[in-house]
A and B are shown apart, each in its own frame.
Chain A
Amino acid sequence: MRFVLKTNYGQDVNLFLHGGQRFWYGLLLAVVLLAPLVLDTFYLGEFALVFIWAVAGTGLMILVGYTGLVSLGHAAFLAIGAYAHTYFLTRGVPFVLSVPLATLFCAVVGYAVGMPALRMTGIYFAIATLAFERISAFVIEHWEGVTGGHFGIRVPDATVLGVNIDGPVGFYYICFGVLAVSLLATMNLLRSPTGRAFIAVRDSEVSAESMGINLARTKCTAFALSAAFTGLAGSLFAHKIGYLAPDAFTVQTSIQLLLMVVVGGLGSLQGIVYGAIFLGLLPQAIAFARDVLPQRIAEIPGLEPGIFGLILILFLVFEPLGIHGRWVKIRTWFDEFPLYRKATYKRQRSYLRTERVR
């Protein structure tokens, strides 16, 4: 077990707690940066998708994992980001300007949607976001001048500093860069007063309010930030799929995004990445399993969402802390080797209605 002796305040501000973390994250960075040298372009594309999911997951994690608001409609922001970005690109706005514009647009929409939604709590909020998702899907389907309606719209090729990013290697690096920036930004956000306010609201709205946190504004900010990150992911996602059509963004997409943060581990930044890897690679794993399984099972329609659902159930019942939580438990077991107590991570249950009011 490692004890970090803190000798000055600067150590609390450092991104890495100790040399070990610096070494392992440095190694990870090197591996990710050098991967295009060895990996096949197919895998590069898959990993770019994982990075995109992770950026979207950052947005949802801020909302669900840190502010405690559950959104069932985040596919809407993914779609709005993608369509806005494509719209700007086709109007001749360069890529480096179009992505921030699309992100900003999503943040504004998120803020506007958040305003009325902040009156609601818990399940009501979740349903309101679901309704918003359905309505935005309707608008996308029918606003043909901008979105191309049912027929969809082609995403134009984009160049960054004269380099075409639609090649697999360039796109891989762009996505990774965006992910790294988003993760760093979120990490710092969560250490700022705003981020602390999010966590306070998650843990108890009543006590947060009595500590002087403006509940409405905090929730709105969280929702807007969350929408912005998801929109950012959406603008990259547009390039990944190359052709935008309404059926690319459905209720199921929203639920997959939610599945990602739950499986990864709510309330942890590492969890986002685990969840994104899981979500990005599971379809491949299922496609692979289809070849191996007997035909009778492999040909079930809707097998993939079914497996998604099953995994979600298993995680919620057996490991609500997600992959990251499991990893923390394993690490603690080794840290405290003969003395590990199972009750350390015992779930808190609340049986009284008064306990459930937060």
Chain B
Amino acid sequence: MEILQLLIIGVSQGCVYGLIALGFVLIYKATEMVNFAQGDMMMLGAFVAFSLANLAGLPFVLVFAATLLIMAVFGMALERGLLRSMIGEPPFAVLMLTIGLGFVIRAVAGAIWGNQPRALDSPFAGGIVEIQGLIIGHENIAIVVGTALLCAALYLFFRFTRLGIAMQAASQNQLAAYYLGIPVKRVFSLVWAISAAIAAAAGILVAPVSLIDPLMGFVGIKAFAAAIVGGFGSLPGAIVGGLVIGIAEQFVYLFLPPGVSEVSAFVLLLAMLIVRPEGIFATLQQKKV
């Protein structure tokens, strides 16, 4: 029973990692940029939701929609203003740029909302469901269901809409997509918007579990590990990698001395990189000369 309980917490935590990793992977797939500020975008999304829900007092559904919209616009603006000038630059430069961006977002959030942890007024907070001795928090259910819904929506989007297919084309070959009349620049903007919106969703879902403060974005590093364990560049891989790390952390927490669970994600990551560097769902091709 205890194992099952841990499994449920692990899955819900893993979904959070998976959602952030999904943002990484989306941007990486489409633009070959690595966005290290993804965790900080999640933090920003949570703070925007906090402002709308607690300070403006809007109903939750409205808060959710508005936050996603605001963050999507923010992501788009970021791409237009900053990242577009970096297209074609070496990947390292973009990586450094987004690391710097993370620092700036953290400082700005600290300036606006202060450094003390805040709690979001969320309908998922607090309540529990009990099934035959299993205690599951509403927030955990919300995370899992939210992740599943988002994944389904993304799958349908990439599979069946014109825009989604255009995005896939752009991610496979920018130049060829451009020749075929796909507005590659606009597609990139939209990818950033979607990824920022996913981050915001992750932020809202995780807010009842961990309080909102400017440093909550550091969870992004673990999400990064999740993305790599799953196979960088694979959307299902991101979620699976997140689940693997989320569950592993819970079990390490139970069976190994305290503190080890904090680094278990990184140990797992290193082990994965040594054993199978391309991740569970390999998408990267071997280098050809």
Residue B148 CB within 8 A of the other chain = no
Chain A residues, Cβ within 8 Å of B95 = 70, 123, 126
| Given A131-B269, A206-B287, A302-B107, CB of A255 within 8 Å of CB of B175 | no
Closest to A68 in B: B92
Chain B residues, Cβ within 8 Å of A352 = 173-175
- Other-chain residue from B96, B100, B266, B277 in contact with A134 (beta carbon distance below 8 A): B266
In the docked arrangement, what's the CA distance between A258 and B36, Å?
15
Residue B123 CB within 8 A of the other chain = no
Question: Nearest-CB distance from B222 to chain A (Å)?
Answer: 9
| Given A301-B110, A351-B174, CB of A135 within 8 Å of CB of B270 | yes
Q: Indicate if the CB atoms of B269 and A320 lie closer than 8 Å.
A: no
Closest to A304 in B: B107
Q: Indicate if the CB atoms of A122 and B92 lie closer than 8 Å.
A: yes
Q: Indicate if the CB atoms of B175 and A351 lie closer than 8 Å.
A: yes
| Given A116-B273, A309-B99, A356-B32, CB of A135 within 8 Å of CB of B86 | no
In the docked arrangement, what's the CA distance between A303 and B115, Å?
12
Q: Indicate if the CB atoms of A312 and B97 lie closer than 8 Å.
A: yes
Interface residues of B in 241-289 (CB under 8 A from A): 259-260, 262-263, 266-267, 269-270, 273-274, 277, 287-289
Convert A323-335 into 0s and 1s, putting 1 for each residue whose CB lies closer than 8 angstroms to a CB of B.
0000000000000
Interface residues of A in 80-114 (CB under 8 A from B): none
Residue B91 CB within 8 A of the other chain = yes
Residue B62 CB within 8 A of the other chain = no
In the docked arrangement, what's the CA distance between A303 and B108, Å?
8
Chain B residues, Cβ within 8 Å of A311 = 100
Residue B29 CB within 8 A of the other chain = no
Q: Indicate if the CB atoms of B115 and A141 lie closer than 8 Å.
A: no
Residue A14 CB within 8 A of the other chain = no
Interface residues of B in 92-134 (CB under 8 A from A): 92-93, 95-97, 99-104, 106-108, 110-111, 114-115
One of B11-19, B68-76, B190-198, B224-232 contacting the partner: B224-232
In the docked arrangement, what's the CA distance between A134 and B92, Å?
21
**What class of interface size applies to chain B in its complex with A?**
35 or more
What's the dominant secondary structure at chain A's contact region? helix
In the docked arrangement, what's the CA distance between A116 and B110, Å?
39
Q: Indicate if the CB atoms of B34 and A123 lie closer than 8 Å.
A: yes
Convert A112-129 into 0s and 1s, putting 1 for each residue whose CB lies closer than 8 angstroms to a CB of B.
000011011011101110
Residue A2 CB within 8 A of the other chain = no
Residue B89 CB within 8 A of the other chain = yes
What's the dominant secondary structure at chain B's contact region? helix
Q: Indicate if the CB atoms of A305 and B103 lie closer than 8 Å.
A: yes
| Given A123-B95, A124-B228, A312-B97, CB of A349 within 8 Å of CB of B103 | no
Which of B86, B106, B266 is packed against the most chain A CB atoms within 10 Å? B266
Chain A residues, Cβ within 8 Å of B103 = 255, 302, 305-306, 308-310, 312
Chain B residues, Cβ within 8 Å of A317 = 82, 85-86, 97
Q: Indicate if the CB atoms of B287 and A357 lie closer than 8 Å.
A: yes
Chain B residues, Cβ within 8 Å of A308 = 100, 103
Residue B87 CB within 8 A of the other chain = yes
Residue B181 CB within 8 A of the other chain = no
Residue A350 CB within 8 A of the other chain = yes
Convert A242-274 into 0s and 1s, putting 1 for each residue whose CB lies closer than 8 angstroms to a CB of B.
000000000100010011001000000000000
Q: Indicate if the CB atoms of A124 and B86 lie closer than 8 Å.
A: no
Residue B221 CB within 8 A of the other chain = yes
Residue A52 CB within 8 A of the other chain = no
Chain B residues, Cβ within 8 Å of A350 = 88, 90
Closest to A121 in B: B287
Q: A309-B103, A313-B97 are in contact. List 10 more A-B contacts (CB 8 A).
A: A64-B92, A122-B92, A135-B263, A142-B259, A210-B289, A255-B103, A302-B106, A302-B107, A305-B103, A320-B93
Q: Top 10 closest A-B pairs, CB basis?
A: A306-B107, A309-B103, A349-B88, A312-B100, A131-B266, A309-B100, A300-B111, A309-B104, A313-B100, A138-B263
B→A interface (CB under 8 Å): 32, 34, 82, 85-93, 95-97, 99-104, 106-108, 110-111, 114-115, 173-175, 214, 221, 224-225, 228, 232, 259-260, 262-263, 266-267, 269-270, 273-274, 277, 287-289
A→B interface (CB under 8 Å): 64, 70, 116-117, 119-120, 122-124, 126-128, 130-132, 134-135, 138, 141-142, 206, 210, 251, 255, 258-259, 262, 297, 300-303, 305-313, 316-317, 320, 347, 349-353, 356-357
Q: List 12 A-B contacts (CB under 8 A).
A: A127-B228, A131-B225, A134-B221, A135-B263, A135-B267, A297-B111, A302-B214, A306-B104, A309-B102, A316-B86, A347-B89, A353-B32
